[in-house]
Structure 1
């Protein structure tokens, strides 16, 4: 594999030498990212495709989504014990899943799934047959109205539907104290009477009615935080739990910018103004800056950037490699970064991990 060499995995000291050898972790050398990210390793390679990894506060567990077998062509949710390398599936295995999160202190996982869709298995079979036929279609996210947000224990048991509302309910995360959940939903298109203009817009684009919501961790006291006819999604809490970062699409759906707001929906502030597709924002644990992905260098070339939390500085480029680099997250101690990239020979999405230079980030952003 060109430009890849063996290197001990520095991100999790609890991993044994035996596990390191079994994982066949790979390192990437690239001058463009070396200023911020070093000791880069590829965390996944046996799965068909992988994306969106998130850590528990104690850094003992990582939850992520992956397609692993031909029986189900859609993502399922997996939990990895970072001390012994054991991986276990926590989603039911039927239908589609997305957007997982691990509780900051309890043995609980949050994810969205369509397994209660009566046609879930039929849709799985149809997708398998479509792929066998060789049919190709452009990538497009599926805003399936059967997506619900579920809570489950680490074995996938005690599963509980927290939303129980027709419409796309997904992109959920717990607050740092585990008491609140922020999520995205277009439920109002199914539960409210839309204007003629809104109904026509929703028929054309189901994402147009997606807004950010917040609720108690048990699914009660749901409150809508954004009120637009464009896609507001991907919410994450700030490290202190006081604000939410998310991305807002333009009316035409071709651009997106990063925004933040208080958890009650007040003080909505635009952070980026790149006029491109900027999305997948995530706070650094220091609460000094936000990392995100943008295609400012080309329609299909997504790179990681950082920006100060107030959006007062020019965003700073982090990665520099053709293809997709996105969905970045920092480890809870802020010393490492994990993200999804297709920088593999097969050009399939996999997880990459590296040591993060927080001091350099502050220096380049001129933030104290």
Structure 2
């Protein structure tokens, strides 16, 4: 499922009506990242950003994930000027910047729709989910049903391993149904992903070669967008948890059509084997795209819980015991997909800032300070 584009369009629909830490990136000149007191990209309240650099300029760009050595990132984009019709996977070096006229190398096939790429520990391969086995064209992306904002759950998604030339070297999943949203443990031993193979949207783990698939959640509701803690012992994820009879019926009816409603989600945390599962947030609205702080003791995530009309989405930080909630970004539109570099020095995220008032969502890299 194209989680990013769907939520972004939901945002504007609302608007219309309402770890390997030994490696580092010190080879990158610091003057490439403007200081906060001179940088109009940083809002005055954003004290965690020592510097900030915009790295894409056009289209919708999101889910940028670091290589284990922090020298490269892989991300998804639907920039039509890069000759794609919907999200495909692209590779960039840490110090690079891309415009409409300068496209990064594409690692996916260019067919179907892709989502959620992630580096493997060797820094020579990535994983990502794609629908290309079932269709060459971009699948339709429904946004509303019976007045509800929805995400499609494409049953044609499977998870693949590719090298940095874009060659598919292995298919990791081949079950009937949705297999997507894979991310890799910083320990370099496990992948966590979302699947409908049980009949519901649950989390699973597997080895890097696709073996030893283990289901780790089993409560009714959409469990997705999962990430491991820096030490690989915990998993943070977003979930919907329908409670009333009507909510349960609505959820099951939509899921039977390959759809979910993403406007009410909270964050949950558990051990890597699924034990000690507990709800982390109880904020209301959509709380999603969580990622562990380098300390492992905090979570950075995106939320619109303070919004009255569905927007803005901003980044927040919270302790893993649910205390000390703090707002990190202070935009008027959309900030999401925060991802720390493995060395903890930098934060990649997506934002609508500096887009001339349009709808482009671009990638930014901040130099982080606690």
Q: TM-score of the superposition, structure 1-length normalised?
A: 0.78
Which of 41, 45, 55 is the aligned partner of 2:53? 41
Aligned to 1:107: 124
Aligned to 1:285: 294
User: Structure 1 CA distance, aligned partners of 2:326 and 2:31?
Assistant: 38
Q: CA deviation at 1:72?
A: 3.2
- In the TM superposition, 1:306-321 aligns within 5 A as 306-311=317-322, 313-321=323-331
Q: Does 1:323 align with 2:333?
A: yes
Mark the structure with the bigger radius of gyration. 1
**Relative to 1, partners in 2 of residues 1:84 and 1:351: Cα closer, same or farther, differing over 3 Å?**
closer
- In the TM superposition, 1:61-210 aligns within 5 A as 61-69=72-80, 71-82=83-94, 87-117=104-134, 119-121=135-137, 123=138, 140-189=150-199, 209-210=200-201
Q: Is contact 1:81–1:87 with CA below 8 Å preserved after alignment?
A: no
Q: Does 1:14 align with 2:27?
A: yes
User: Structure 2 CA distance, aligned partners of 1:355 and 1:18?
Assistant: 12
Q: CA deviation at 1:14?
A: 3.3
User: Structure 1 CA distance, aligned partners of 2:118 and 2:233?
Assistant: 19
**Cα distance per residue 1:4-40 (max 9 Å; x no partner):** xxxxxxx9653479999xxxxx85031121x222322
Aligned to 2:61: 50
Q: Does 1:238 align with 2:229?
A: yes
Q: TM-score of the superposition, structure 2-length normalised?
A: 0.77
Which of 271, 282, 303 is the aligned partner of 2:280? 271
Aligned to 1:59: 70
Q: Does 1:357 align with 2:357?
A: no
User: Structure 1 CA distance, aligned partners of 2:272 and 2:225?
Assistant: 14
Which of 304, 312, 333 is the aligned partner of 1:301? 312
- Where do 5+ consecutive residues of structure 1 fail to align? 1-10, 21-25, 131-136, 190-208, 359-368
Select the structure with the greater relative contact order (CA < 8 A; seq sep ≥ 6).
2
User: Structure 2 CA distance, aligned partners of 1:255 and 1:17?
Assistant: 40
Q: Does 1:31 align with 2:48?
A: no
Q: Is contact 1:27–1:39 with CA below 8 Å preserved after alignment?
A: no
User: Structure 2 CA distance, aligned partners of 1:39 and 1:138?
Assistant: 39
User: Structure 1 CA distance, aligned partners of 2:266 and 2:31?
Assistant: 44
Alignment coverage as a number of residue pairs: 311
**Relative to 1, partners in 2 of residues 1:19 and 1:330: Cα closer, same or farther, differing over 3 Å?**
closer
Aligned to 1:3: none
User: Structure 2 CA distance, aligned partners of 1:41 and 1:349?
Assistant: 14
Runs of 4+ in 1 over 6 A off after TM superposition: 16-20
User: Structure 2 CA distance, aligned partners of 1:15 and 1:239?
Assistant: 23
